[in-house]
Structure 1
Amino acid sequence: MDVSSKIQDARLRLVGPEPWSGRRIAGESALALPLALVAAGVTRLADGGLVLPALVALAVLALSPLRRRFPSSVLIATAALSGAAAGATLLLLVVACSAGRRIAGAGKALAAFCAAFAGYLLALLLTESGGGPLLVISLFSALFFMVIAVVPGLASRYWYQRRTLLQTMQERNAQLLRERAMVAGQARLRERQRIAQDMHDSLGHQLALISVHTGALEVDPALTGRQREAVGVLREASVAAMHELRAVVGILRDGVEAPEHHTDEAQRAARGTAGVEPLVAAARAAGTTVELRETGEPRQLAPASDHAAYRIVQEALTNAYKHAPGAPIGVELRYEPDALVVEVVNGPAAGPPPNEVVSGGQGLTGLHERARLVGGMVHTGRTGDGGFRVAGVLPYGAPEATTFVDAADDFRQQPSALPPGDGGATGATGTGRHQAGRHVGWDVDLNVAERELAMSSRSRAGGVALGCGIAFAVVVLLAVAAGVGLFFLAGSADKAMIDPAEYKDIKVGASEQEVRGRLPDGDTFLTTGLPGKGPAEPAGSSCLVLMSSEVGDSVRTEPVFRFCFKDGKLIEKQSYEVER
């Protein structure tokens, strides 16, 4: 491998397979430069020189951009640098947050943070001037490292994993909904094809027989003129029913309207508001009293709304024939400013209805659905005199222009599934078996989505509770450690400090036993390194060095009191400051 390949390989290892964008370079520079300046400034205050702050700043500039590419190595190196130079502490916090979210696996993260703490403690012990008890230094180092590195790393790791989990759950939920929608769509398509085949095989055959027989009966010379006219009405109705059946079968089978070449413009218009008058005329010819009224200025309707108006009148007349034979019927078309109102009202039945009335019970439900699909609504119910009223409100324009939503037809209020044996009741609002069956696929999808989102919410709540529990445990641990440390520090301070007034009260020449009885023994880590830093001790004497309860004139110096004993007496006492 030549030198250029080695250089290229090293560059890829450092920056990664993708080149840095200008935005990333600017962001890394904006982060690394302030960290380097802070590190240099803090080190300068603590050391007083220029070389060490410059080296620390260069190290920070080098480690900061590499924290994403090598999270474990940079964490360990930064921890060791922080132990040797306090100025790199802020970088340690940033690197710990980055390592917490980027180190894969809890075991690797634990090993990396433990190695980082070991490096931090080792560097601290090697650079500590004067030394001290290892247990005390380790305790305070662990406390400090936990606050600066471990807690931010845990918080960053928890936040990143929670965000990743939520994104994964949302993607999975969206995928499940798409799959369920596809499965439901395929099931509906198969069912529609089956229904279309059944309608074509059964109803098509029966209507063809009716058309043939009524055609033959119409030319029978034995019929009177009125009878021949009635037979002609039946033949025309059967032919129209065959055309409509063909269109419905095409919609069920292919999801589109039947080809228009089977129906001319006059036939299409006859299935809209223009066909209402022939419907009324056919009803009158059958001997039913029907009154047709049109009010307002007629306006052009959208094809779907126009056909819905025709179907409302047709279904209402059919119901009146079945359930109230002989009752007068009123049909009204009111062209309101924003919608067409179609109203069909029949009076009470003149006599008892026939014993056997063939009815599927789905006509009114179909009207509700048809009106809803075009943005309108249908109301059905009894009148005060015992009759029945069917009224529909249909917009003039496309369904998106105006939306009327009947509460009974709102698919969000439909049951997600029908219980076995329960077809649903059909009341004044027309909600029944057909309506529930039509929307059962949607309801299943919506309920599944709601359950998925509820599970996601519970998972988020559990994650938040777990994170809060971890944070609470860390805070309790820190509080206990801080309490123990403060208690230990207070006890050590009692063994190492005296007031300046007490120093003045002690006189040279007093017995050693009396003086030592008044003073603490100084056997604590706080006084470690103090003896030998002041003026030379008297020959053959043993000295006790204690700290002052007052602070010195400089943050680098510590005021101390020294008591020297010889031959059982206090032969010297001095007050001076030493550098820590």
Structure 2
Amino acid sequence: MRCGWGLRWPDAVLWVVLAAAAVFEGLVGLVAALVLLTAAVVLFRRSPVWTVCAHVAAAAAPALVLAPTVTNLPWVWPFFAAGVFGFRAGRWAAEPVLLPLAAVLLAGLPVSVLADGSVRGGFGVLFGVYDWSVLVLIVLAVVLGPWLLGRYLRLRAELSAAGLDQAALRERTRIARDMHDSLGHEWGLVALRAAALEVAPDLPERHRLAAGELRAGVAAATERLQEIIGVLGPRDERTDVGALVERAAAAGMDVSWTPAGPSPEPVERAVHRIVREGLTNAAKHAPGAPVSVRVERSYDTTTVTVANGQMAARPGPGGGTGLAGLADHVRSLGGTLTAEPRDDGFALVAELPHDARPAPAGPPARRRLAGVARTPLLAGTAVAVLTMALYATVGAGNSLDPEVFEKIVPGAPQADVEAVLPPFQILGDPERMLSDPPKGADCRYHWASEQTDERLFFRLCFVADRLVLKETVPRGAISAGEER
């Protein structure tokens, strides 16, 4: 059931649930969420992967720019929405999400470096890399995890259905072989005896004519049997529609076609068969008329249209076993087929769902999923190692000795003070725990090498290359800052 704009009711329910998650993000966050979610729900079926990427970008931008650190996420709803749409993309979309997602995440690296650098100076470059690497790990867990789960469910459904397909194909092949071996042999003998009677010299003329009619009837029945065996036997495995169209054009047909992206293999085979039937009918009933072949693909269906100009003679009702067999095949895939005259000719239109008869059996779902997940897992491992190495390196050189801190005098030149400071600062956002620094100040934050309840870390702020503020921050500032 649809509810306007081509949406289905589950889409509307999803919009309400995700919008409710943004209610607590403030007015700006709520407005942004409503705009993005509306566009995402409307466009998801046409472009599921880029819908996911749009939510990842919406999560990354405020996390890297507004905070500017992912340790204090300003908005949470984009991550939640990206995870939901990531699952849906993995469950229903055939195209891969890894490369577009990697492009979005890599674009965030220079943004993170610039944002943190504007706040923390030279250390901001290092902190921006750390900020970005933490964001990547969050995205891998929140978005890629649901996507892999959806992909696994899709692969498992495909393999399950493929097993049923293979069993049905084996049964059809067995029936076809039995019909060919038994009926074909018997009818061949009948035709042979009828032919002998037809030329027997001692048989009356009327009996010879009856024998000829019998032989012709057996030949027609044998031909019909071959057609039935062809329907029951293995299906045509060809899927190259482009080659099919090129052969028709080479034979003199005025044909044009609009291709689409890849679909599941059973759908590709059905598309090939539909286009072949449409081109055959056009050549038979409308020779010389222009023919257009159009394949359109959404995230869950493929639509095939073969339309030709005015036909010389339209087939009457019930004519042609090709269309009837084709309609049965499309219905067996859960799709629909219409073949009807139009004002300017005739059109064959089929709509094929992607999840009715998925791809044939292959490796088990877990093994195929492992192949899909290998690249993101390796990339995630590399980023995790980078993050931990960066954290350990910075952590080994961001503590300030309290005795050194006490010797620092307000008003001292910035260069003199920085000469006694550790090479790195705190990887985090301690400024949110404190009061605003002096206007235009450039502040440094260092852990106390010996921490107590009254001395957790230090803040030193510079204005015009002079130290204007030195502050010891107690442990209680953490809880106070979280309440702010």
Indicate the TM-score class for this superposition, using the shorter chain for normalisation.
Answer: 0.3 to 0.5
TM-score, scaled to structure 1: 0.38
Q: Indicate the structure whose relative CO is greater, using CA pairs within 8 Å and at least 6 residues apart.
A: 2
Largest Rg, 1 or 2? 1
TM-score, scaled to structure 2: 0.44
